[in-house]
Structure formats: structure tokens, C-alpha cells
Amino acid sequence: MTTIGFVGLGVMGRPMAHNLLAAGYPLVVHSRTMERAAPLIRAGAAAAGSPAAVAKAAEVVITMLPDTPDVEQVAEGSDGLFAGASEGLVWIDMSSISSAASTELAARAAARGIAMLDAPVSGGETGAVAGTLSIMVGGDEVTFERCLPVLRVMGGSVVRVGGPGAGQLAKACNQIVVGCTLAGVAEALVLAGKAGVDAAKVREVLLGGFAQSRILDVHGERMLTGDFAPGFRASLHRKDLVNALDAGRTYGSSLMLSSLVTELLNAQIAAGDGDLDHSALVKVYEALADAHRG
Amino acid sequence: MTTIGFVGLGVMGRPMAHNLLAAGYPLVVHSRTMERAAPLIRAGAAAAGSPAAVAKAAEVVITMLPDTPDVEQVAEGSDGLFAGASEGLVWIDMSSISSAASTELAARAAARGIAMLDAPVSGGETGAVAGTLSIMVGGDEVTFERCLPVLRVMGGSVVRVGGPGAGQLAKACNQIVVGCTLAGVAEALVLAGKAGVDAAKVREVLLGGFAQSRILDVHGERMLTGDFAPGFRASLHRKDLVNALDAGRTYGSSLMLSSLVTELLNAQIAAGDGDLDHSALVKVYEALADAHRG
């Protein structure tokens, strides 16, 4: 079977790598904090000292990193993927980064004979553990078809939406919809509470009509119980929305609600809650309501 | 079986009344435009010349009207429900109106010995025809229990969320969530289109992750095909959001995104599209993107 390299073993990367190992793929891993790799190494993965060493050892390299500069550094740093890569390497970047930066990276990779897919995901840690992520892929069709068996190990829904950068653009769209739905649910549940109406029952009845969403279900529940352990950190959602707003400017598309959601996440992060789940956005609304009361 | 009166035979009221008739309830109907009652009368309903006459003939009266002033007029007008009602009448108002006005109507009804439930719905014409509406009920528990068999004929999910006005408040919450989700979906799909990414594939992949919602499914599809026959008119959604914003002011709860969605619906209505389905909100975003291009 194809030897797979995996760089970035955070909350998402670790379970994704475990699923690849469990599916029988020989795995070579690297992480900035190598202690994160220990459980994978115990389970049979090989360790590599740098992204370059990963690229040398593997036929397909997957990266799962926090932000655009991290991906650029891992790819183009002095001991980065490009430094260790031979022609014919396939690189699947599953991080959520800027669509424009991803498109440029794909061009620079292609110049070195590296075929790149951008393949960001939705579905959170739960989806990563269960191997049911929704994977949005940009890149050429031949490379996509070749990587499909690997992607299907991690994803329940794997769709190629277009050429280089299109996966990241789709992920930006995903985060727009998630962010607006999340803020809408927060507005509704806080209003219900302030009006003295049972917010849990409101959530329940809304799930039966056109207001139904996975966010109302999962994050609405978190808002009611106050369980804000991530999940998906507010700071990462803001990063994705900043990427979305950049794309909006690039393509001349107005993102009014998304810009307001970004500001609400700014407020959440400024209040010290950036490492909480993004559903803690409800606390911003509660603070605003309290201010109004006070 | 309990004789039911039904006032208001619009897009929603007609199929709801038909379902009551089909369930075997003797039905007395009234509509401002009585030709709308013709199919119901052919199917066995009796016609009444005024809301007062409906109240005289029925034990339970259901109203399904466009807005707060319509409900106040039908209840308290010179030939309104109150004029014809005997003590013990049960009145279920299934219109979507102001929660504060509904609470006041319930108090004035109670003073006349009329038990009132506010029981607005979500699920649109499709849900009304199929009898699968989501029904949000406010009012006292005894009246609710008594009316449950009648409500279950029209609704797939029937939940009492609290006392008088609570059903309307829950409906406001519903329209907040629907409106924010709708605008988020429009922002995402227009961005995808402008960026040259296949918006249909973006919708498809987003449905597999945390962005999943009934709005992305049903209204996202409408946005892609341009099928804007209502469904649910933009002008009615704006009315519901104005009621929500009123409630936000009353209870000191901030509704930032909802106020922006209200403004977007204002733009849609000003452009002459108020009688289209609310999913035509996407046209506002397309016009903004075109303006940016031009």
C-alpha cells in the first residue's frame, strides 16, 4: 500500500492519522511537538525528524496545520516538504487556509513536479475520530481520483468542487454558513431566555421545522448546557472567516453577515474565550443583554 | 366530534382546514374572500358570514391570518370572534404575530371567558399540506392538552413552550434562525459562484458537514435553480423579523444579525421581490456583487 506521510498531529490530525494507520497504510509522521506522535508510533507509525524527511519517506504527504503561514513554512521552509520531495510526490493539504495562498502553493508545488490537492474538512473532532468528515477538494481530477481511497478513510463525504484553491473556497463557504447559523441560534436562544420562555423547548420545537440545522442541534445544546470545551476553537473560526472575507474582497462578493459574525468572534476572543468552542459566542450575546439590563 | 371554526383560508389556512375536515372534524369556515372557501364547502365544510358567526357555531376556533392587525380585527371587530363567542370558547390563533400583542389578546379573551392559545407554525405550505407542521404553543396547560388532538392533525411536532405569547416568541426565534441561516447560505453560494467554484457542488459537500440545515437543502436548491415561487413570501418573513426585533427591544436582547437580515429583506422588497420566496434574498447579494463588478 501507498506510504503516507502525515505532518500536523493536533486535535484533528491525530485521529485522522490513526484512521489511516488502522486502514493498513504505512505511515510516517512528524509534528512540531513530537510527543503528540507517541501513540501513533506505538501503533506502528514511523517518526520523521522534519517535513523534508517525511517527504523523502512517503509517496503521499498529508498536512493538517492551523493556518496559512504554518502550511507555507512546512512546505517551503529549509527542511520543508519541498526540500525533501522527489518528482511525483502527491501533497494533500487538509488544513483550512486562504484559498488564494493555496492556489499559489499549488502552482509552486507543480513547478517542482509535486501534485497538490487542497482538501479542508468539516465535521470537527467527532468527524475526525469517526472517519466521517466532509472533505472539500480542489485540484486536478487525476490526482483527486488517485487520492480518493485515502480520503475516503477519513471522510464520509468527499467531493471535488473544482481546481486548485476550490476546496479552500468551499471551506470558506462552509464557515460562512456555520458562523451565520451559529450566531442566529445564539440570538434566538438568548432572546427566548430573556423573554422567560424555555429555551430548551424552543430548540426542540425549532428542530422540527425549517430552522433545523446540525448547528441548532449540536451547538444549540452546548449553548443551553454551557459545555464549551472545544470542539472547534473560536480563534480558528475567526481565522477561517478572515480568509472568507479576503475571498469576498477578491471576487467582489458581499459578506455582510459574515463580517458581523467575525466581529462577534473578535469580541469573544477579546473577552478571553478564544480557546473555547465557537458555540461560546452565546456568551457575547448574554453579555450584551446583561449590559442592556444593567 | 368537536366542531371547529376556521378563519383565514390563505396558502397555509386552506390545507390546514382540509386536513381537519379529512380527520372528521365538523368545520365552519370564513374568509375575507369567500371564494377561497369553495373547495372546503364542496368537501363538506359549512360557510359562515363573519368571524362572529364562526364563533357562534364552533367550540374551537382557529385563526390563520397575515399579521397582528388582522388578528385584532377578526377577534375584536364589530362582527368579530368576541362578538359571537359564548363563555368556554377555545380560540387557537395560529397566525404569526407580535408576542406582546398576542399576550394582550389572550388577557382580553380570558376576561370574556375565552381560552386562547397562540400556536404559530413553521414548515411552510408543504408542511401544511402534509400535516407535518412544527407548532409552537403558548397558553395554559389544560387548554393545550384539550387542543392537542386537533393540533396533531396539522402538526408533526407540537410543543407547548410556555404561557400566553410564548408560542409567538418561539416563532420569532424560529424566524431569526431561518433568516440568519438563509442569508448565510446566500453569502456562501454567491461567493462560490463569483469565485468560479461550482456552487451546486459546494452545497452538496456542505450538506455533509456542520453547515447542514434544512435551509441549505431546500432554499439552497432554490437559490441555485432560481425557483422563487413562494413557499414563504419575503414580505411575511420581514414582518416576522420586525416582531422579533420588537421582542428583542422589549426583553433587552441584542439581535444584530437579525436586524441586518431585516435590512436585506427590506432591500429585496424595495426591489419589487417581496412576493417572491424569501430564498430570493440571494438576488440582493447578486445585485451587490454586480454593483461591485460594474
pLDDT one-digit tens code per residue, B226-250: 999 988 999 999 999 999 999 999 9
Q: Would you place residue B134 in the very low, low, confident or very high pLDDT band (cuts 50, 70, 90)?
A: very high
**Tens-digit pLDDT profile for residues B266-275:** 999 999 999 9
Q: Would you place residue A293 in the very low, low, confident or very high pLDDT band (cuts 50, 70, 90)?
A: low
CA distances from B226 to A116, B8, B222, B230 (A): 35, 30, 5, 12
CA distances from A42 to A19, A45, A234, B147 (A): 14, 7, 32, 62
3 state SS of A6: strand
Q: Does one domain contain both A19 and A154?
A: yes
Q: Does one domain contain both B115 and B99?
A: yes
CA A182 to chain centre: 16
pLDDT higher than threshold 90 for residue A150: yes
Q: Which domain does A233 fall in, by range? A: 169-293
Write down the pLDDT at residue B294: 47
Among B163, B194, B221, the domain-final residue is: B163
Q: Does one domain contain both B50 and B143?
A: yes
Write down the pLDDT at residue B292: 59
Mean pLDDT, residues A41-51 taken together:
97
Q: CA triplet A62, A63, A69: central angle to 5 degrees?
A: 155
Q: Does one domain contain both B146 and B279?
A: no
Q: What CATH number did the domain enclosing A283 receive?
A: 1.10.1040.10
Full-model pTM: 0.94
Write down the pLDDT at residue A243: 97
Mean pLDDT, residues A20-31 taken together:
98
pLDDT higher than threshold 70 for residue A292: no
Among B109, B144, B163, the domain-final residue is: B163
In a mutational test of the B interface, the residue from A99, A203, A254 whose CB has the highest number of chain B CBs within 10 Å is A254
Min CA distance, B262 vs chain A (Å)? 11
Backbone angles phi, psi at A154, to 5 degrees: -100, -20
Q: Does one domain contain both B213 and B112?
A: no
Bridging pattern class, strands A4-7 and A60-63 = parallel
Q: Which residues of B touch A213 (CB under 8 A)?
A: 177, 181, 212-216
pLDDT higher than threshold 90 for residue A179: yes
C-beta of residue B210 within 8 angstroms of C-beta of residue B200: no
The percentage of residues in chain A with a pLDDT greater than 90, rounded to a whole number, is 95
Mean pLDDT, residues A37-62 taken together:
97
Q: What CATH number did the domain enclosing B32 receive?
A: 3.40.50.720
pLDDT higher than threshold 90 for residue A89: yes
Domains identified in chain A, total number? 2
Q: Does one domain contain both A226 and A277?
A: yes
pLDDT higher than threshold 90 for residue B293: no
Q: Which residues of B touch A210 (CB under 8 A)?
A: 122-124, 134, 174, 178, 214-215, 218
Write down the pLDDT at residue B36: 93
Amino acid at A12: M
Q: Does one domain contain both B142 and B217?
A: no
**Tens-digit pLDDT profile for residues B4-57:** 999 999 999 999 999 999 999 999 999 999 899 999 999 999 999 999 999 999
Q: Which residues of B touch A177 (CB under 8 A)?
A: 181, 184-185, 188, 206, 211, 213, 216
At what angle are helices A166-194 and B199-206 packed, to 10 degrees? 50
C-beta of residue A264 within 8 angstroms of C-beta of residue A274: no
Write down the pLDDT at residue B227: 97
Task: Tell if the CB–CB gap between B170 and A202 is shorter than 8 Å.
Answer: yes
Min CA distance, B166 vs chain A (Å)? 6
pLDDT higher than threshold 70 for residue A236: yes
Write down the pLDDT at residue B290: 75
Q: Does one domain contain both A79 and A159?
A: yes
Write down the pLDDT at residue A75: 98
HEC assignment per residue over chain B: CCCEEEECCCCCHHHHHHHHHHCCCCEEEECCCHHHHHHHHHCCCEECCCHHHHHHHCCEEEECCCCHHHHHHHHHCCCCHHHHCCCCCEEEECCCCCHHHHHHHHHHHHHCCCEEEECCEECHHHHHHHCCEEEEEECCHHHHHHHHHHHHHHEEEEEEEECCCHHHHHHHHHHHHHHHHHHHHHHHHHHHHHCCCCHHHHHHHHCCCCCCEHHHHHHHHHHHHCCCCCCCEHHHHHHHHHHHHHHHHHHCCCCHHHHHHHHHHHHHHHHHHCCCEHHHHHHHHHHHHHHHHC
Mean pLDDT, residues A204-233 taken together:
96
Bridging pattern class, strands B90-93 and B115-118 = parallel
Q: Which candidate from B124, B196, B209 shows the least CB-CB separation from A122?
A: B209
Min CA distance, B179 vs chain A (Å)? 8
Backbone angles phi, psi at B75, to 5 degrees: -80, -45
For residues B170 and A191, give the distance between their C-alpha atoms in angstroms, rounded to a whole number. Answer: 9
Q: Does one domain contain both B24 and B134?
A: yes
pLDDT higher than threshold 70 for residue B209: yes
Amino acid at B159: V
Name the A residues in 112-131 with CB < 8 Å from any B CB.
Answer: 121-124, 127
Among A121, A136, A163, the domain-final residue is: A163
Q: Does one domain contain both B185 and B239?
A: yes
Q: Does one domain contain both A261 and A134?
A: no
pLDDT higher than threshold 60 for residue A294: no
